């Protein structure tokens, strides 16, 4: 194992109240690929700043191998005071480093170098800051939410660039797929302390859950020992004085140990306020087209029907027209050609990407109540704003905090709290995952899965899209938009299949047309009896499995189950795993049959 080039040892830091870091330790060696994970507010960004030498801890040691270079990408880069984006990138480089690399990186990231930093969008500022961090090829690269505001092409480019760097990398990100693709070890910051797993993020969540379960079991055992010793203290028979004094001292020590245990941070509690039931049709577009001035067409001849219960993801590079398409479908703007309409009784709630609807000077409480009183209506019930704030991990002391003083993660949770309190049967979410921790994303995903209305989602988070949506509307260049069944991974599989079929058709048109294995658009024929029967029965089987899975998950959610009955816990976990595997198989079978049916229907229409 290579010797460390950066060491943080016994780091303590407190910003008043509960310590943020307590005895935190981390070491970084050449070529390391570490992902730093933890709840919002756990101190991840602060620890990264200490590693970068930008924040001094209250206590502890920071050792940097002499001659080692570090570059740090902040979560919110400050480009003020620079004449151009090229000036900003070059200022971060050493004089002896080749200046052409700065311009080369800016070109790759879609910037000319002559842009005024004060006029950059969030995504452009992020790309410029990435160029500044990457240009010197540092020994250690510290990245705080590098994928925020980046589109999918930029994220995929960044992954490829980072894989090719010799630098040691420490990254904080909410993007699971990004972390899975790049990390080789995971550093978990939990309640002020560091836990390290020498495996990538793909293995982290299972390890974290096992660790928390063991911790809960140990705490339960300690509680039982304390109860037993208390009983002895009150009712026990007096024995030798020295022995009793030692046992009493052990009891005092156990009580002190128990009092010093820090509880796991509570989970966000999401309750969506459902409005009136909409009609079956939520939104419909027929042959719509849109362009601006003399520019290229943004949308050409696109049609779609979105029904109640659909969860539709919109995918495309920045500037492709995702927001324009979303605005047309939701009635905010009109197409140049074609028709678009909303269904009956649609109640829409929008979560905007830039948090523009938040007043930086307004307090947190006023933002949730609308400035009137101290009560908020949620899911048909009136609740005190302080109680509702706690559901989203805000402390009572933050009620009068101006929005401008909240962190990015806190503003994200506030937007969710406000959006979910408003009655709706259509949620329009523009980059809802920005700045949210992984646990909050899990709960948001579960809430959207149970939501009875329709969801329109714009996101560049591939894993989140895979987990949430039922279909994807993807930009394919030159104003063309195509809808695919399933999530992001399903879309890629269908695109690959289409390319392979096209190649086969070009090589042997006659063989391809007669082959039963292929299902090109416009195929004629019909489904077999067994295929038709499966297409009718599979949805019922899938629904039944989903209910079983939900039941098993509720069983396993009991924090005391393992301590009370380990055998029941292991049985439920095994049954859950089998059910999830069966569900994946059935869903894949249904998707293949549905694609086959659509291909046949398309052929009949010709």
Give tens-digit pLDDT for 260-280.
555 555 566 666 666 666 678
- Mean pLDDT, rounded, of the chain: 82
Mean pLDDT of 317-330: 90
Top pLDDT among 281 and 230 is at 281
- Judging by DSSP bridges, how do beta strands 426-430 and 454-458 pair with one another? parallel
User: Is the predicted pLDDT of residue 455 greater than 50, yes or no?
Assistant: yes
Q: Find all residues with CB under 8 Å of 354, minimum gap 6, and list them.
A: 122
What is the separation of C-alpha 98 from the centre of its chain, rounded to a whole number of angstroms? Answer: 37
The DSSP output letter for 262 is: P
Task: State whether the Cα torsion 488-448-545-177 is positive or negative.
Answer: positive
User: Is the predicted pLDDT of residue 140 greater than 70, yes or no?
Assistant: yes
User: Is the predicted pLDDT of residue 190 greater than 80, yes or no?
Assistant: yes
Q: Hey, which residues does 339 pair with through a beta bridge?
A: 286
Regarding pTM above 0.75, the answer is: no
| CATH number for the domain formed by residue range(s) 4-206 | 3.40.50.300
The CATH H-level (homologous superfamily) assignment of domain 519-604 is: Valyl-tRNA synthetase, C-terminal domain (1.10.287.380)
User: Which pLDDT score is estimated for 423?
Assistant: 83
6-20, 34-48, 213-227, 311-325: least confident range: 213-227
Tracing tokens 């104003």 back to the chain, one arrives at 479
* Other C-beta atoms lying within 10 Å of the C-beta of residue 10: 13
The SS3 of residue 250 is helix
Q: Hey, which residues does 61 pair with through a beta bridge?
A: 9
Contact 151, 459 (CB under 8 A): no
| Structure-block tokens of residue 468 | 């949430």
Residues 169, 493: Cα–Cα separation, whole Å: 31
The CATH H-level (homologous superfamily) assignment of domain 281-486 is: P-loop containing nucleotide triphosphate hydrolases (3.40.50.300)
From 471, 455, 250, select the one nearest 349 (Cα to Cα): 455
**Are 4-206 and 519-604 the same fold in CATH?**
no
Contact 417, 392 (CB under 8 A): yes
Top pLDDT among 418 and 198 is at 198
Tracing tokens 């990264």 back to the chain, one arrives at 48
In 3-state terms the chain splits into helix, strand, coil percentages (rounded to 5) of 45, 20, 35
Mean pLDDT of 11-18: 82
The SS3 of residue 130 is helix
Contact 22, 48 (CB under 8 A): no
User: Which pLDDT score is estimated for 142?
Assistant: 97
149-158, 160-169, 202-211, 434-443: least confident range: 434-443
From 206, 198, 147, 219, select the one nearest 177 (Cα to Cα): 147
Cα angle 130-132-133, degrees, rounded to a multiple of 5: 65
Residues 233, 228: Cα–Cα separation, whole Å: 9
Top pLDDT among 509 and 183 is at 183
- Domain residue spans in the chain? 4-206, 207-260, 281-486, 519-604
Residues 379, 452: Cα–Cα separation, whole Å: 13
List, for residues 368-403, the tens digit of each pLDDT value: 888 777 888 876 778 888 988 888 878 888 888 888
Mean pLDDT of 345-360: 76
Q: Find all residues with CB under 8 Å of 277, minimum gap 6, and list them.
A: 308, 345, 425, 452
Q: In degrees rounded to 5, what are phi and psi of residue 439?
A: -65, -40
Q: Find all residues with CB under 8 Å of 602, minimum gap 6, and list them.
A: 521, 522, 523
List, for residues 503-539, the tens digit of each pLDDT value: 777 775 554 444 444 443 434 456 665 677 678 778 8
């Amino acid at each position: 194992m290579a010797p460390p080039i950066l060491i943080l040892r016994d780091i303590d830091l407190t910003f008043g109240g509960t310590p943020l870091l307590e005895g935190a330790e981390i070491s970084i060696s050449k070529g390391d690929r570490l992902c730093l994970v933890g709840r919002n507010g756990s101190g991840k960004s602060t620890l990264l700043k200490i590693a970068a030498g930008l924040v001094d801890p209250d206590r502890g040691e920071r050792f940097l191998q002499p001659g080692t270079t570090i570059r740090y990408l902040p979560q919110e880069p400050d480009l003020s005071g620079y004449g151009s984006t090229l000036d900003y990138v070059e200022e971060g480089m050493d004089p002896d480093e080749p200046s052409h690399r700065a311009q080369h990186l800016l070109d790759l990231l879609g910037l000319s170098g002559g842009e005024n930093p004060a006029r950059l969008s969030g995504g452009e500022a992020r790309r410029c800051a990435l160029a500044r961090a990457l240009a010197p090829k540092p020994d250690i690269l510290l990245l705080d939410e590098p994928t925020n505001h980046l589109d999918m092409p930029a994220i995929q480019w960044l992954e490829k660039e980072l894989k090719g760097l010799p630098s040691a990398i420490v990254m904080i990100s909410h993007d699971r797929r990004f972390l899975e693709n790049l990390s080789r070890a995971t550093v978990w910051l939990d309640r002020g302390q560091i836990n390290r797993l020498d495996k990538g993020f793909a293995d982290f969540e299972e390890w974290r859950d096992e660790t928390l379960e063991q911790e809960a079991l140990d705490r339960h055992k300690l509680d039982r020992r304390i109860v037993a010793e208390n009983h002895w203290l009150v009712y026990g028979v007096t024995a030798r004085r020295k022995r009793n004094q030692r046992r009493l001292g052990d009891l005092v020590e156990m009580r002190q140990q128990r009092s010093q245990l820090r509880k796991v941070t509570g989970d966000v509690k999401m309750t969506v306020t459902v409005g009136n039931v909409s009609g079956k049709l939520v939104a419909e577009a027929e042959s719509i087209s849109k362009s601006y001035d003399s520019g290229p067409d943004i949308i050409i001849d696109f049609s779609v029907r979105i029904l109640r219960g659909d969860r539709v993801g919109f995918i495309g590079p920045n500037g492709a027209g995702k927001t324009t398409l979303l605005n047309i479908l939701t009635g905010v703007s009109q197409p140049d050609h074609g028709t678009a309409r909303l269904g009956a009784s649609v109640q829409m709630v929008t979560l905007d990407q830039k948090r523009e609807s938040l007043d930086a000077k307004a307090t947190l409480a006023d933002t949730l109540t609308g400035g009137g009183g101290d009560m908020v209506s949620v899911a048909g019930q009136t609740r005190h704003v302080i109680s509702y704030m706690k559901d989203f991990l805000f402390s009572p002391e933050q009620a009068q905090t101006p929005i401008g003083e909240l962190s990015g993660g806190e503003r994200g949770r506030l937007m969710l709290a406000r959006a979910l309190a408003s009655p709706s049967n259509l949620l329009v979410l523009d980059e809802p995952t920005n700045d949210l921790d992984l646990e909050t994303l899990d709960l948001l995903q579960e809430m959207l899965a149970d939501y009875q209305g329709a969801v329109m989602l714009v996101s560049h988070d591939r894993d989140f899209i895979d987990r949430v949506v039922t279909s994807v509307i993807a930009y394919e260049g030159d104003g063309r938009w195509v809808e695919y069944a399933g999530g992001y991974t399903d879309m890629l599989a269908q695109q690959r299949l289409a390319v392979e079929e096209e190649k086969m058709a070009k090589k042997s048109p006659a063989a391809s047309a007669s082959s039963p294995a292929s299902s090109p658009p416009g195929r004629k024929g019909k489904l077999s009896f067994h295929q038709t029967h499966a297409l009718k029965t599979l949805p019922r089987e899938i629904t039944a499995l989903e209910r079983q899975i939900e039941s098993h998950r509720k069983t396993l959610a009991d924090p005391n189950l393992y301590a009370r009955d380990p055998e029941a816990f292991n049985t439920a976990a095994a049954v859950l795993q089998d059910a999830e595997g069966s569900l994946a198989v059935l869903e894949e079978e249904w998707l293949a049959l549905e694609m086959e049916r659509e291909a046949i229907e398309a052929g009949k229409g010709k």
